[in-house]
A = this chain, B = another copy of it.
Amino acid sequence: MQNAGVKPLEGIRVLDISRIVSGPVCCWYLAALGAEVIRVEAPGGDQTWRSVPTVSPEGVVNRGARGPRDIALSALRRHRSKRSVVLDLANDTGRETFQRLAQHADVLVENFRPGATLKLGIDYETLSAINPGLVYCSITGYGDSGPYRNRSAMDLVVQAVSGLMSKTGFPDGPPTKVGATVGDQVPALFSAIGILAALRQRDRDGRGQHVDVSMLDSLVALLWDEPLDEYEDQGIPERVGNGDPRGAPLEVYRTLDGWVALVMTNDDQWVRLCDLMERPELVEPYATMRQRAAARDFINGAVGEWCSTRSTDAVIEHFVAISLPAAPVQSAWSARHDPHIAHRGSLEPLRHPDAAEPSPYLGAVLPVRLSRAELSSTPTEVLGHSTESVLRELLDADDDEIERLRRAGALGEG
């Protein structure tokens, strides 16, 4: 790797006061790109820290009772490459200290309910008055305006209201939850984009702004790359299972030992597939995508029959040999065992910062490879590990001041 150590977001300082998934994941991306991300949490941390399993400094995995310096697996994953500060924002001195930290930040990310930051005295208006260059990102369920503004949201809830669940599953089955937390992670991605764009605008005039991203808007954008209004007008079913009424073969087919996914994108592929299946009589009558779509059940049946007498490996080998877009339906945890993922280094072992060896758990690296940047991560810190060092570096706090803050209850038991 050229230029080891160079990171694209060097020099950008982010205050991460967000909780659970969306905000922490957004800030992890920024940290992976080289921003200095300082995670500021109340004493005890958010509920991520209380989840199981945990990993101890000796690298032992605990699923029930946890040691005092254990770190939860979720925190080991989402807070890589961040610094951890404990500060009680509900305490007057804690809030005042946070406002001073915000003067030294480029970016702040929060995902409280609308109105909560105002009550805490750390809302956009207040902090941008103190630091006009601050890019302040709020991730909420429904945004900061509109009739649903005050409703609380979670991944499943937003998947439901956005229409994503109704679009996932089989025509004769129920609405189905997407098996990844897209309701949290897609807004995390849009937030990172909004923050980076706002930083660029700030480069020109020195001024920050408010970046407002909602979970609902994010899933609506995800869904509406398809013409859902046209589907409604045409009376097309909401859920189409694993196929697509507009084409064939375009399905998931049973093999002797599993399933394979196949997508046909052009008519030459059909000629090659008929040759492979030794069904030359099918080429002519189903030469075009439109003809195949019209005979979709028949086409899928013919392909399914061919697959059903072969192993997944054999089917994929044949399909790949004739350049069809195809793959096995792998298990949810397949990436842990996949040779391509291993080659790419797409997952990395998670490590307790005090442990000599990595834990048995894996986390995804930022899936962006940059030819001139080294995006290696550092382990999640124990909660509050950097409280003192951040106060010293950013606020020039000395021992006396830290003692004063501690006595005032701003640092919790930290």
Residues of A at the B interface (CB closer than 8 Å) are 6-10, 12, 21, 25, 29, 33, 53, 73-74, 77-78, 124, 141-143, 145-148, 151-170, 173-182, 184-187, 189-194, 196-201, 203-204, 207, 209-214, 216-233, 238-242, 250, 252, 259-263, 265, 320, 323-336, 338-341, 343-344, 346-347, 360-373
Closest partner residue, chain B, to A269 (CB atom): B152
For the complex, give the distance between the alpha carbons of A209 and B170 in Å.
Answer: 43
List of B residues within 8 angstroms of A362 by Cβ: 224, 229
Q: A176 is contacted by which of B169, B211, B214, B230 (Cβ under 8 Å)?
A: B169
Q: State the 4 A-B residue pairs at the shortest beta-carbon distance, nearest first.
A: A167-B179, A160-B261, A217-B367, A168-B179
For the complex, give the distance between the alpha carbons of A165 and B158 in Å.
Answer: 20
List of B residues within 8 angstroms of A196 by Cβ: 193, 196-197, 200
Given contacts A229-B361, A362-B229, contact A200 B9 (CB under 8 A): yes
| Residue pair A231, B168 in contact (C-beta under 8 Å) | no
CB of A11, distance to nearest CB on chain B (Å): 8
Task: For the A-B complex with A157-B263, A182-B182 known, give 6 more contacts whose Cβ atoms are closer than 8 Å.
Answer: A141-B325, A154-B265, A182-B222, A190-B367, A209-B372, A217-B344
Q: A173 is contacted by which of B7, B173, B190 (Cβ under 8 Å)?
A: B173
Closest partner residue, chain B, to A246 (CB atom): B51
List of B residues within 8 angstroms of A221 by Cβ: 346, 364-367
List of B residues within 8 angstroms of A198 by Cβ: 8, 370, 372-373
| Residue pair A370, B265 in contact (C-beta under 8 Å) | no
| Residue pair B323, A152 in contact (C-beta under 8 Å) | yes
For the complex, give the distance between the alpha carbons of A212 and B151 in Å.
Answer: 39
List of B residues within 8 angstroms of A203 by Cβ: 203
**A158, A167, A192, A224 pick with most chain B CB within 10 angstroms:** A224
Given contacts A146-B344, A232-B336, contact A330 B180 (CB under 8 A): no
List of B residues within 8 angstroms of A263 by Cβ: 154-157
CB of A82, distance to nearest CB on chain B (Å): 16
CB of A373, distance to nearest CB on chain B (Å): 7
For the complex, give the distance between the alpha carbons of A204 and B8 in Å.
Answer: 9
| Residue pair B145, A361 in contact (C-beta under 8 Å) | no
List of B residues within 8 angstroms of A178 by Cβ: 164, 168, 178-180, 182
Q: A157 is contacted by which of B191, B199, B261 (Cβ under 8 Å)?
A: B261
CB of A35, distance to nearest CB on chain B (Å): 9
- List 27 A–B pairs whose Cβ atoms lie within 8 Å, in order of A's numbering: A143-B369, A147-B343, A151-B320, A152-B324, A156-B261, A157-B263, A160-B252, A162-B335, A163-B331, A163-B332, A164-B178, A164-B179, A166-B331, A166-B332, A175-B242, A177-B241, A189-B189, A209-B370, A210-B370, A211-B368, A212-B369, A213-B368, A220-B341, A220-B347, A229-B333, A232-B331, A238-B331
Closest partner residue, chain B, to A200 (CB atom): B8
List of B residues within 8 angstroms of A225 by Cβ: 21, 25, 77-78, 180-181, 184-185, 364
For the complex, give the distance between the alpha carbons of A219 and B160 in Å.
Answer: 21
For the complex, give the distance between the alpha carbons of A363 and B227 in Å.
Answer: 8
CB of A79, distance to nearest CB on chain B (Å): 12
For the complex, give the distance between the alpha carbons of A352 and B170 in Å.
Answer: 34
List of B residues within 8 angstroms of A159 by Cβ: 261
